[in-house]
Amino acid sequence: MNTFILSTLLLLGAATANAKTIVAYFSHSGNTRAVAEQIQKSVGGDIFEIKTVVPYSKDYNTAVEVAKKEQQANARPELSTKVSNMEQYDTLFLGYPNWWGTIPMPLFTFLESYDFAGKVIVPFCTHGGSALGRSEDDIAKLAPKAKLLNGLAIRGGSANNAQKDITAWLKKIGILK
């Protein structure tokens, strides 16, 4: 395990012999999945895709319209996937597309489904121009007892070739040397 993660976990009182990392992500177009896979390759750990019971349309405009309506209604879309053993993870890399300035509503459902007290959450997003928006603030509100590290925003069109930016970010936040 990386020294920074271990020292952070020790500070949080969460270090165990089996300290583990999970990279959980929600991806509509595949961009966030591409970034999640690159992060997981860099840091190790498990990877998990957050999926909804009712999938979003493959048509971008239709999906965006549904996402906007969900946000306006403060909806909590039902998830079809669940991490059955979230308590074993100490560090959560959390990936998502930035929809309307924040995390998609399925991430609200995901974050409200688990206890993140004492865990480290490391957000990352793909976007079309609004970077992280207010997503870090929303994550902090949904997981107030977690330690939130500075997130990474990757333009959607750069997602498949983001390893250099990912590595620089992981070094900047102390995950990699």
The domains of the chain are located at 3-11+19-125+147-172
Tell me the fold of 3-11+19-125+147-172. Rossmann fold (3.40.50)
β-pairing, 20-25 with 89-97? parallel
Q: pLDDT band at 152, cuts 50/70/90?
A: very high
d(CA 111, CA 109): 6
pLDDT per position as a tens digit, 25-41:
999 999 999 999 999 99
Residue whose entry in the numeric block shows the structure tokens 């595949």: 30
Over residues 153-167, the mean pLDDT reads 97
pLDDT per position as a tens digit, 47-97:
999 999 999 999 988 998 999 999 999 999 999 999 999 999 999 999 999
Structure letter (DSSP) for residue 86: G
Is 6 a residue whose pLDDT tops 60? no
Percent of the chain with pLDDT over 90: 86
Please spell the DSSP secondary structure of 112-169, one letter per residue. Answer: HTS--TT-EEEEEEEESS-TTTTHHHHHHHHSTTSEEPP-EEEEGGGGGG-HHHHHHH
Is 9 a residue whose pLDDT tops 50? no
Q: 36: helix, coil or strand?
A: helix
Is 103 a residue whose pLDDT tops 60? yes
Nearest to 63 by CA among 91, 27, 34, 38: 27
Over residues 156-171, the mean pLDDT reads 97
Phi, psi of 131 (to 5 degrees): 50, -135
Q: What is the pLDDT of residue 19?
A: 59
